[in-house]
Structure 1
Amino acid sequence: MPHPLAERELITFHSVHQQQNNNPLRMICDTIRQAQRGIFMRIYAISSDDIIQSLIQTSHHVPVEVKYHCGESLPVACQNSRVVLRPTNGRTLQHKKTMLADFQTVVTGSANYTDLSLNHDVNVTACIESSELHDAVFSERPQLVHVGSQLLNYIPIQRLIPNAASKMILNAINQATDSIFVLMYIFLSPEFFLALAQAMRRGVRVKVIIDNHSKQDTCKLLSKLGIQLPLYERKTEGVLHTKICCINNKTLIFGSANWSGAGMIKNFEDLFILRPITETQLQAFMDVWSLLETNSSYLSPESVLTAPTPSSRPTQQDTDSDDEQPSTSQQAIRMRK
């Protein structure tokens, strides 16, 4: 059973597809506007006018610094403000989606700071109150943190710490005794697939739902490995962009990293493992899971060959991008996530 709610929760999950906490854009803007000591952001893509204006407003009275990869409108919008902009142009992709506020608050997850990502696509963003975690994330230092009565393991993914994230995820999968539910934008990790297959042989209920734009590459990998898994593709509107896994209804794995070579090794990413989750946190996950489970279909050999389902996105262009080298099936999403 999930950990019962006994006090004010210091970790909340936000998604437009939840029944509660379903306005992540407002949560992010409120966090920025209410800051009294400072804002520091590491974000892959940022284009939301609401967020940019909140940063400009807050920069008048506290330090605001933004490290970003994609944000063409930022320099012009912030040119007369005190917002410090630091574009990342290194060879390693800065794929994080994390904001730090007042040396106390960590906002992190799978959503880029774009209107499409926060208001349309399927994403989950966590808001965590912990000065100890804030310091670890700012320093990009691995750390196990007590947040209230919960344990939160922070693993920054970078080339200097190879395989650390993969080992933590594999350990969590290998300890599963009841269920493993995965919602993943890109799933191309042979070792995770093999671990899930072993879990099924132990009697664990396993189900994986992926975005349909990468289904051909995922199914080719499964065929090469010679294993079968309950693999489903998104049919709902909006891109399935989450990178989240729930194990035994007790553990949540979340963050910015896809379960792929790029996500686990090559990129700069933030990964978190939370246990034991509360009833409220489990319900937040299940809201998103239920939406995708209802609006997904089994990936059969026949369906793999069909064209991806359109995401039915608004006409507004999004600057999000994929973190994989694009194959034929990935060309369409290179400039999305």
Structure 2
Amino acid sequence: MRLSIFLFLCAVLFVCPSCTTTDTVRFDLYFLNASIRERTLGFIEGATVSLDLCVYDISDPEVLRALAGKAAQGVAVRVVTEADNLAELGLLTRELEVVVDDDRGLMHCKYMIADGKQVWGGSTNLTKTSLDNHYNDIFIASDPFIVRRFQDHFEHCMNGLFKGDRPPAQDKGSIYFSPEDLPFNALMNLLSSAKEEVLIGIYAFSDYRIAHFLKVLSAHGVKIYVFADRGWNQGSPYSQSVEVDQYTLLRYDLLETGLMHQKFIVVDRSAVLFGTYNFTASAETKNDEYLILSREASVVERFRQRFFELWKASE
């Protein structure tokens, strides 16, 4: 078994990620809950022509009122969401164009596109607890290529193409939608470049391949920090937390009413991967997800600072 894992990882590490200029694009990043709610509502309010939402869960009362208000103003509001959460939209389903995913895993994305010019995304669902109580992040970007990548994905979903039905992107531009763009390979490629330090902030960690490779990195002198959600990782029989605790510095959140819901990896102060992708097999093969690779120094440093803020808060 260990030999097969090693050979698989070797094969993955020789797959080069797409090398384009989009991994140096600047993002506006927000982590504090007050900022996340304010910026999210501001993003919705700023839409004047169209607002496309591809979000796992939408139930926050303020968000629902804002969406209803936009629709009443004549803004074309379209929604893609997880089928199991459709009821939370309530009467809005009569006013908006809504598409739900199929039953092959989760529609786990979280992003919005305003007027075809700006993208909001990150780990945050549009629920009260996600906006107010959880450790989350959002980004806002207006780079035309990034907007187009998300718009293309959205149009596929609106046309009923979920999970493995979508074709892989010809030019990923350091944005990896799951499963078609193989974000797991991007993740492993980034980890393989680590020489000194890996910082991981994660909600669900059950992928044994990632856990095993962290052990390999640790054996080669890479210092690895993992900050994980306490409830999921101490409560799930599939969690790899007991395994990784043997060769990493591991801490859990101390939140009483929220989750550690972020998903990001910072490597050697040189690159960060972030998005909706948990360290699970479902994220790789069954769910609609995405990861973004950034080498922009300001973005990397913001995530690194965020990690150690979380780390200190768990002391």
Q: Which residue of 2 aligns with 1:76?
A: 91
What do the CA deviations read for 1:237-265 (whole angstroms, capped 9, x no partner)?
Answer: 42101111111122111111111111122
Give the conservation status (yes or no) of the 8 Å contact 1:41–1:99: yes
Partner of residue 44 from structure 1, selected from 56, 62, 73:
56
Q: CA deviation at 1:144?
A: 4.1
Alignment-mate amino acid for residue 231 of structure 1: L
Q: CA deviation at 1:39?
A: 1.0
What do the CA deviations read for 1:277-296 (whole angstroms, capped 9, x no partner)?
Answer: 31xx3453244323321233
Alignment-mate amino acid for residue 70 of structure 2: T
For structure 1, the 5+ residue unaligned runs are: 1-8, 146-152, 298-337
Aligned to 1:176, the other structure's residue is in SS state coil
Q: Cα distance 1:220–1:23, how it changes in 2: closer, same or farther (>3 A)?
A: closer
- Give 1 or 2: higher helix fraction: 2
Tell me the TM-score normalized by structure 1: 0.73
Q: Which residue of 2 aligns with 1:180?
A: 198
Give the conservation status (yes or no) of the 8 Å contact 1:190–1:225: no
For structure 2, the 5+ residue unaligned runs are: 1-24, 154-167
Q: Cα distance 1:219–1:294, how it changes in 2: closer, same or farther (>3 A)?
A: farther
1:154 has 2:166 as partner: no
Q: CA deviation at 1:71?
A: 4.3
Q: Cα distance 1:57–1:220, how it changes in 2: closer, same or farther (>3 A)?
A: closer
Give the conservation status (yes or no) of the 8 Å contact 2:203–2:229: yes
Q: Cα distance 1:206–1:271, how it changes in 2: closer, same or farther (>3 A)?
A: same
Q: CA deviation at 1:102?
A: 1.6
Give the conservation status (yes or no) of the 8 Å contact 1:12–1:126: yes
Q: CA deviation at 1:227?
A: 5.6
Partner of residue 290 from structure 1, selected from 281, 286, 308:
308
State how 1:1-337 maps to structure 2 within 5 Å.
Answer: 10-16=26-32, 23-59=35-71, 60-69=73-82, 70-77=85-92, 79=94, 81=95, 83-140=96-153, 142=169, 143-145=171-173, 153-158=174-179, 160=180, 164-216=182-234, 217=236, 221=240, 228-237=247-256, 238-278=258-298, 281-296=299-314
Q: Cα distance 1:119–1:223, how it changes in 2: closer, same or farther (>3 A)?
A: closer
Q: Which residue of 2 aligns with 1:327?
A: none
Q: How many residues align?
A: 271
Moved more, 212-221 or 268-277: 212-221
Alignment-mate amino acid for residue 27 of structure 2: I
Give the conservation status (yes or no) of the 8 Å contact 1:16–1:120: no
Aligned to 2:87, the other structure's residue is in SS state coil
Q: CA deviation at 1:222?
A: 6.1
Aligned to 1:254, the other structure's residue is in SS state strand
Q: CA deviation at 1:224?
A: 6.7
The percentage of aligned residue pairs carrying the same residue is 19
Alignment-mate amino acid for residue 37 of structure 1: V
